[in-house]
Amino acid sequence: MNMESDILYEESQYLGYNRLSFLRRMVLALFCFLSYYWSGDSVDAEGSGSLLFFLGVAIIGVSAILVFILHYRTKVENGSLVLDGLWTARKVKIDLSSIKDVSKVKYSRFFFNRAVYNLHLKGAIHFYTRGKECIQLTDKDGLKYLIGSQKPAELLSVLNEQIKK
């Protein structure tokens, strides 16, 4: 049997799309460019003005590269939810038979949220890169999983379908 047919849902989230990280990098690049401009573009002995310009260009280059760096991938397959991150060797596999409740909730009241993978905070385990809403899974022991998604309605319907089986 083909393994691709067992995957019911798949989503990849990339580091370059996180609002907070992107804003930090752009503010830093803007600071470098403004400092370069205020330095008067004079050719001095240290060349610090040129250094600031190239540092700003490098920051924008790193931001462009981060758009292609995978933060984590979400898969629903074979009765389980699999979260596999690039920066960690730990693959998180949640057995859907142990889940008693699935709902779509707002991830946070904050406009900017940092990207997290397997963060244990206030009785919940967070997985988030971007998006305003997330899927909240509650298992039979009361442990909550908050899984950020760009397509929460689609993930919710697939999870509800799998839990009813």
Please state the three-class secondary structure of the chain as a single string.
CCHHHHEEEEEEEEHHHCHHHHHHHHHHHHHHHHHHHHCCCCCCCCCHHHHHHHHHHHHHHHHHHHCCCEEEEEEEECCEEEEEECCCCCEEEEEHHHEEEEEEEECCCCCCCCCEEEEEECCEEEEECCCCEEEEEEECCCCEEEEECCCHHHHHHHHHHHHHC
pLDDT at 94: 92
Q: Is the pLDDT of residue 1 over 60?
A: no
Q: Is the pLDDT of residue 2 over 50?
A: no
Question: For 91-117, how does the pLDDT look when each residue is reduced to its tens digit (9 = 90+)?
Answer: 889 999 999 999 999 877 666 667 777
Question: For 22-54, how does the pLDDT look when each residue is reduced to its tens digit (9 = 90+)?
Answer: 999 999 999 999 988 887 755 555 667 788 899
Q: Is the pLDDT of residue 130 over 90?
A: no
Give the mean pLDDT of 128-136: 84
pTM, entire model: 0.75
